[in-house]
Structure 1
Amino acid sequence: MFDVHVHAAPDVIDRIGYDDQICAQYAAEGFSGFVLKGHQESTVGRAKALARATGLDVVGGIALNRPAGGINPAAVAATLYSGGRVIWFPTADAHTQESAGLPRLADLQPRLNRSTLSTPPVLAADDEQLGSIYLVLDLIAEFDAVLCTGHLSAAECRWLFDQAGKRGIKRFLLTHPSYTVPAMSIAEIADLAARGAYVEITAYQLWHQPGMTQALLAEVARAAGDRLILSSDAGQPNSPQPPQALKELIERLASQGLDSSWLQASASDNPRKLVLS
Structure 2
Amino acid sequence: MFDVHVHAAPDVLARIGHDDQIAAGYAAAGYSGFVLKAHHESTVGRASALARSTGLDVVGGITLNRAVGGINPAAVLSALSSGGRVVWFPTADAHTQESAGLPRLGDLDERLDRSVLAVPPVLDEGQEAARNAEFVLDLIAEHDAVLCTGHVSGPECRWLLDRAQARGIRRFLLTHPSYTVPGMTPQEIAELAERGAYVEITAYQLFHQAGMTPARLADVARAAGERLVLASDAGQPDSPEPPAALAQLIDALAGEGLDRGLLRAAAADVPRQLVL
Within a 5 Å distance, the mapping from 1:179-198 to structure 2 comes to 179-198=179-198
Distance (Å, rounded) in 2 between the aligned partners of 1:132 and 1:102: 25
SS in 2 for 1:58: strand
Q: Displacement of 1:45 after TM fit?
A: 0.3
Match of 1:225 in 2: 225
- Is 1:155 the equivalent of 2:155? yes
Could you list the runs of 5+ residues in structure 2 that have no partner in the other structure? none
Match of 1:33 in 2: 33
Contact 2:62 2:87 survives alignment (8 Å): yes
Give 4+ residue runs of structure 1 displaced > 3 Å after superposition. Answer: none
Q: Displacement of 1:167 after TM fit?
A: 1.6
Match of 1:213 in 2: 213
Q: Displacement of 1:150 after TM fit?
A: 0.1
Distance (Å, rounded) in 2 between the aligned partners of 1:77 and 1:190: 32
- Is 1:19 the equivalent of 2:8? no
Distance (Å, rounded) in 2 between the aligned partners of 1:130 and 1:204: 31
Letter in 1 for 2:58: V
Match of 2:203 in 1: 203
1:81-111 alpha-carbon deviations (Å, 9 max, x no partner): 0000000000000000000000011001111
SS in 2 for 1:130: helix
1:56-76 alpha-carbon deviations (Å, 9 max, x no partner): 000000000001100000000
Distance (Å, rounded) in 1 between the aligned partners of 2:131 and 2:103: 29
- Is 1:78 the equivalent of 2:78? yes
Within a 5 Å distance, the mapping from 1:115-264 to structure 2 comes to 115-264=115-264
- Is 1:8 the equivalent of 2:1? no
Q: Displacement of 1:200 after TM fit?
A: 0.1
Of all paired residues, the percent bearing the same amino acid is 72
SS in 2 for 1:244: helix
Letter in 2 for 1:118: A
Distance (Å, rounded) in 1 between the aligned partners of 2:134 and 2:231: 28
Q: Displacement of 1:18 after TM fit?
A: 0.3
Contact 2:123 2:130 survives alignment (8 Å): no
Contact 2:48 2:60 survives alignment (8 Å): yes
- Mean Cα deviation higher: 162-171 or 148-157: 162-171
1:20-63 alpha-carbon deviations (Å, 9 max, x no partner): 00000000000000000000000000000000000000000000
Contact 2:124 2:130 survives alignment (8 Å): no
Q: Displacement of 1:125 after TM fit?
A: 4.3
SS in 2 for 1:35: strand
TM-score by length of structure 1 reads 0.99
Distance (Å, rounded) in 2 between the aligned partners of 1:123 and 1:213: 34
TM-score by length of structure 2 reads 0.99
SS in 2 for 1:271: helix
Could you list the runs of 5+ residues in structure 1 that have no partner in the other structure? none
Distance (Å, rounded) in 2 between the aligned partners of 1:92 and 1:130: 19
